[in-house]
Structure 1
Amino acid sequence: MLLYIRYLLLTVLSKAERVFEAAERLRGVQIECSPATELISKYNYKNVLIYCDPPYMAETRSGGTQYKKEMSDEDHEILLNQLLKHPGPVLLSGYHSDLYDSMLCDWDYIELKAYAQSLEKKTKVIWANYSLKDKIDENKYSQMSFV
């Protein structure tokens, strides 16, 4: 019994240490839980980088419903219009779709080979409203295709 209590105590202390480490890393970080469109409007400044990883469009997924809050095609279009107007740098994750490809046709993008939840091989896309080729060393990331 004493060994078990010692084990529990060490486990709790170990987890507590990780919590303190995480708290230290997050010092000065502001976390907000709001709809993306509200946050984009609130932080619509040239010096704000937005990384947006919205729920993927239903047409690009093979697994059906995967999110608590699904986005309609109209929601995606509203989000994209807002990101297109953002004066600062934007990175956006997703999969190729007619909507994204047409609205983001002037943006740079890279393709990443990935596996979906269904273990199906997919090509994930990261779009940017600035040149990615200048920022990423292609030799370091051989799984990426620069387009």
Structure 2
Amino acid sequence: MSTIKTQPVKWHGGKSYLASFLHSLAPPSHLESPEGYTHRHIAFAGGLGEFWNWAPTEGIAESVNDRNGELINFYRVLRDPLMFGRFRLLVDLTPLAEDEFRAAENVNHGLQKPNARQLDADDPVERAAAFFVRYRQSRQGLGRDYTTPTKRLRRGMNEQVSAWLSAVDGLAECHERLRPVEVRSCDFRRYLTQLDQPRALFYLDPPYLASTRSSVGEYGANEMTDDDHRELLQLLAGLSGRFMLSGYHSTLYDDWAAAHGFACHERQIDNKASSAKVKAQRVECVWTNYPATEGKH
């Protein structure tokens, strides 16, 4: 199987645009070097932008993790051979429409409103379908507002309709990609502690430090405090395995990296979270606990 062309959900802060850069920084696996990693773990799954762009490799064990219960329910349904068929049928029959978006929004918020299409919030498959509709049909992948109307065409149809159908059509490929992957939902402390070992590679893309962001609150109950970030950095400093950590420059992160001699790799991009027409440039950082020469530049 090759990489995934259309990831299933749009997600705030996703790293699909940095996937090739991240992969170039990854150390070799045991298939490339006798001492390479055997396990690949993603601690903050989100939309899994970097994962979908990483072709599966036989002989590498993979896991993904996130604290967002609705997101993880979606991934579990997407990978499950029995539940996926019914899920695919539900979304296949769903058009791009604001009424569908509102009905899905009601389910994920635990609401049932008059005149809204009724879905079973206790059914994991219907919850997953509602989640997919809500985030795929939302503006900027935030799940809050219905997608922005457009007059542009793609494939001879409305651009947003084309994007929706492409996402639905790509689900079978995503299902196959996720089947050999362990899906977890736990705190990053437990995830790192339980899975750490010398031949593990962790990729971490946490909610960025609040002081470095143009806006906060997009991750709701899963936002991280400064103390959470300090605990994360402390855990990473004692890790037996290798890690790649995404973030922006800050005194906290830069002092930590300098104290432990960790490498920082930079890539300048436009600020994806900005709503401005002309987006300001930001420097994305990836810290690693192994030398730059070990990555596949």
Alignment TM class, shorter chain as reference = 0.7 to 0.9
What do the CA deviations read for 1:82-119 (whole angstroms, capped 9, x no partner)? 01111011000000111101111110111011222112
Question: Normalised by the size of structure 2, how large is the TM-score?
Answer: 0.40
2:262 maps to 107
d(CA) in 2 for partners of 1:25, 1:59: 36
Output aligned runs, 1:1-147, within 5 Å: 12=92, 18-68=170-220, 69-105=222-258, 106-116=261-271, 117-118=273-274, 119-137=279-297
**What residue ranges of structure 1 are gaps of 5+ in the alignment?**
1-8, 138-147
Which structure shows the bigger proportion of residues in strand conformation? 1
d(CA) in 2 for partners of 1:16, 1:93: 29
d(CA) in 2 for partners of 1:128, 1:35: 21
- Secondary structure in 2 matching 1:133: helix
Question: What value does the CA root-mean-square deviation take over the aligned residues?
Answer: 2.2
Question: Normalised by the size of structure 1, how large is the TM-score?
Answer: 0.78
Greater relative contact order, per chain length (Cα 8 Å cut-off, separation 6+): 2
Per the TM alignment, residue 67 of structure 1 is displaced from its structure 2 partner at its CA by 2.2
- Secondary structure in 2 matching 1:126: strand
One-letter amino acid of the structure 2 residue matched with residue 76 of structure 1 = H
- Secondary structure in 2 matching 1:54: coil
Per the TM alignment, residue 124 of structure 1 is displaced from its structure 2 partner at its CA by 0.7
Per the TM alignment, residue 76 of structure 1 is displaced from its structure 2 partner at its CA by 0.4
Percent identical residues: 33
d(CA) in 2 for partners of 1:87, 1:101: 21
- Secondary structure in 2 matching 1:104: helix
d(CA) in 2 for partners of 1:24, 1:127: 31
Per the TM alignment, residue 134 of structure 1 is displaced from its structure 2 partner at its CA by 3.5
d(CA) in 1 for partners of 2:214, 2:92: 40
Runs of 4+ in 1 over 4 A off after TM superposition: 13-17
**What residue ranges of structure 2 are gaps of 5+ in the alignment?**
1-88, 94-164
Equivalent residue pairs, number: 128
